Amino acid sequence: MSKKKIILDLDTGIDDSLALAYVIANPDADLVGVTSEYGNVHVELAAENSLKILELLHHPEIPVFIGESHASTKDSFEVLPTSQRIHGINGIGNIQLPTPKRQPEKTSAADFMVEAAHQYGKDLIIVPTGPMTNLALALEKEPHLPDLIGGVTFMGGALTVPGNITPVAEANINQDPEAANKVFHSRLPLTMIGLDVTHRAVLTKDDTAIWRMIGTPAATNFADMLDYYIDIYLANQAYVGGCALHDPLAAAVAIDPSFVTTIDLDLKVDLDEPYRARTIGDEMRIHNKPHTKVAVNLDVPYFIGIFMKYLGKLFQNTKEN
Ligand code: RIB
Ligand code: CA
């Protein structure tokens, strides 16, 4: 079986950084590029954080691209106070990493997605873990994207549970509901990894203690970053029982769909109040053959077991410089 080619589209944040580590660690995947989104931080800081994490993990060869700086319907973007609280002022739990040795690539995120689609075809899976602005733009630039690539597995939305930014909306979809709605109405083969499953994928300080014992800079920095994130979750959403592994779960399912159970259901995003940014089944397409899978259940021990195994190995292997 050929390895899956992955593009991570990140608003690099703490759980986005974990998604990056997970794909690098997974022997069944090739991370062909990291595209950057605004969201948890401004887009330039998202790119800088990705470059820093890639150096920490000894993978400075993976290219990083800058994406759109704001939602498709707006002309600017400000980081929400909630995001600053959850991810820290610098987006990575306020850990201090060296200034990256390189710059992002000159090609834009959307152009890179289109180029990669032509280069890798059905082997390519795009994994957005922030707003869908870059992907919606790539679709505009290349309307054949749905026929070219293997699929899109995204972190966002909530079908069977409440939202986390409004009672009905999940944070990533809420950043650019119009872009997400365009993606939902394209023919892209989609898999939604929403709060329905990501709130069940939980990491605790017992897990970060294992990383601390590994003792490499990568292990220690990730443990510090995650302990920050866990403390915020325990203060704000104690019912989760630790921190939610939103973005790494989407990355994991992109590589191995068997972690989750899905239902086939084409979705829409509500664009008007009072339900703006809600993800829900599209009543106008219930007679069509769905192109969207929505994850509704997760094999928790299987996922956490594999996640800890791969990250532990990766952190061990960053011992030598
Ligand atoms: O709602 C959770 C999502 O919002 C995650 O992708 C997190 O990183 C933030 O972007
Ligand atoms: Ca994210």
The per-residue pLDDT for range 75-102, each reduced to its tens digit, is: 999 999 999 999 999 999 999 999 999 9
- Contact yes or no for 35/156 (Cβ under 8 A): no
Residue 13 exposed, middle or buried by CB count within 10 Å (0-12, 13-18, 19+): buried
Q: Please state the atom number of ligand 1 nearest to the C-alpha of residue 83.
A: 9
Number of H helices, E strands in the chain: 13, 12
Q: What is the pTM of this model?
A: 0.98
**What pLDDT is attached to residue 320?**
62
Ramachandran area for residue 173 (φ above 0: left; ψ -120 to 50: alpha; else beta): alpha
Pocket flag, ligand 1, residue 292 (CB < 6 Å): no
Q: Residue 58 catalytic?
A: no
Q: Which regions of the chain are under pLDDT 70?
A: 1, 320-321
Q: Are strands 267-269 and 260-264 parallel, antiparallel or unpaired?
A: unpaired
**What residues have a C-beta under 5 A from ligand 2, the ion?**
11, 13, 16, 129-130, 247
Q: Please state the atom number of ligand 1 nearest to the C-alpha of residue 171.
A: 1
User: Can you tell me which residue has the tokens 């399912």?
Assistant: 253
Strand order in the sheet with 4-10: 64-65, 29-36, 4-10, 124-128, 151-155, 190-193, 292-298, 260-264
**What pLDDT is attached to residue 229?**
97
**What pLDDT is attached to residue 150?**
98
Dist. CA 155–CA 245, nearest whole Å = 10
**What pLDDT is attached to residue 1?**
67
**pLDDT tens digits for 273-289?**
999 999 999 999 999 99
Pocket flag, ligand 1, residue 131 (CB < 6 Å): no
- Contact yes or no for 251/22 (Cβ under 8 A): yes
Pocket flag, ligand 1, residue 282 (CB < 6 Å): no
Dist. CA 248–CA 101, nearest whole Å = 26
CA dihedral 284, 289, 291, 295 (to 10 degrees): 90
- Using alpha carbons only, give the angle 223, 163, 129 rounded to the nearest 5 degrees: 50
